[in-house]
Amino acid sequence: MAHTHLFRLMIILVYKSCLECDVREVGMQDTVFTEFQPGNIIDNPSEDRLREWALKQGGVLTEFGNLSVKTRVRNRIARFTEVVLGEPDQEYIKLIGDVMAYLRDREMIMLDRVMCQKEGYKRKCRIYVTADYPRIPLMWGSTLFPGEPGEPDFITITVSEWPEKKVLVFPEEGFTLILGSDYKGENKKAMLRQVMYWSKKEGNLGLHAASKILRIQQNGKLVDKGVLLFGLSGTGKTSLACHSHWLRPPERVIIRQDDVVILRSDGSAVGTEESFYMKTDALEPAAQPLLYAAAISP
């Protein structure tokens, strides 16, 4: 299977590293790069297969029938994240070359998904994860929409077993390399980061915000009011987006997003993901009936 997108990325980096030399004169033997060619690629396995593999890798089922896993890394490694614009440092070029060489005899899971559903905003997303971590594509895949044919707009490679913690982000190339982390949220944020960068270049704004619609009575009529809820991670976006506010029919809430939206110049917002990423600590039914019901559903 050819992976031309990543190969082009490497050619770009090699070209930048040789400072305007003729890229046709640069052979791979003259650089630290090797082509992205894993030993084997498992192409878009089903959710059932990924779940089965995750259980074999140490996952357990809760009393509600949900998969529970333990991770070494429990949050994003933001302090080890580097965004590369322009010419990359030689240490990063060498690191990517070392990773590509390591992957040549490793098995990887490839999963394709789509972010956003509005025409003109759909972005094709692809992740590659070393096969010992099937829980990562399983969980990441559930956050976005089904994949569609064609080359991806954004690619993330995750090598969780790598001894060094590092995230390299190449926003212009739509490429992220995640090393040393088995935290699913790192993959989630990698794609959201890319779509926020892309949306800004298109004249929009990517917002770290949840969204919902309140359908309420006003002057004897039902009207829809759009709501954007800004906040950093862990500050309550999901809790507020999924709260009923104790409205009673015919009033209601319509849940849209809990993390990132694209704000357009006309004031409308485009959603990115298909599901929510909730924190279950201190979750109880009295204050959060909708989230609690979701958490105990299989």
pLDDT single digits (tens) 123-157: 999 999 999 999 999 999 999 999 999 999 999 99
Residue 8 has pLDDT above 70, yes or no: no
Calculate the average pLDDT of the chain: 88
Percent of the chain whose pLDDT exceeds 90: 69
Residue 283 has pLDDT above 80, yes or no: yes
Cα distance from N-terminal residue to C-terminal residue, the chain: 36
Residue 52 has pLDDT above 80, yes or no: yes
3-state helix, strand, coil in the chain (%, to 5): 30, 30, 45
Spatial distance between the Cα atoms of 131 and 41, rounded to a whole number of angstroms: 9
Residue 13 has pLDDT above 80, yes or no: no
| DSSP H helices in the chain | 4-17, 47-56, 90-103, 135-141, 184-201, 237-241, 289-295
What's residue 3's pLDDT? 58
What's residue 252's pLDDT? 96
Q: Would you give the DSSP letter of residue 74? A: -
**Range picked from 30-39, 109-118, 283-292 for highest mean pLDDT:** 109-118
Given the candidates 3.30.930.10, 3.40.449.10, 3.40.50.20, 3.40.50.12280, the CATH classification of the domain at 4-201 is 3.40.449.10
Spatial distance between the Cα atoms of 172 and 168, rounded to a whole number of angstroms: 12
- Whether pTM > 0.85 for this model: the answer is yes
- Give whole-number Cα distances, 268 to 63, 123, 186, 255, 281, in Å: 41, 18, 28, 15, 33
Comparison of pLDDT for 278 and 205, the residue scoring more: 205
Residue 26 has pLDDT above 80, yes or no: no
Residue 30 has pLDDT above 80, yes or no: no
Domain boundaries, the chain: 4-201, 205-295
Spatial distance between the Cα atoms of 3 and 228, rounded to a whole number of angstroms: 38
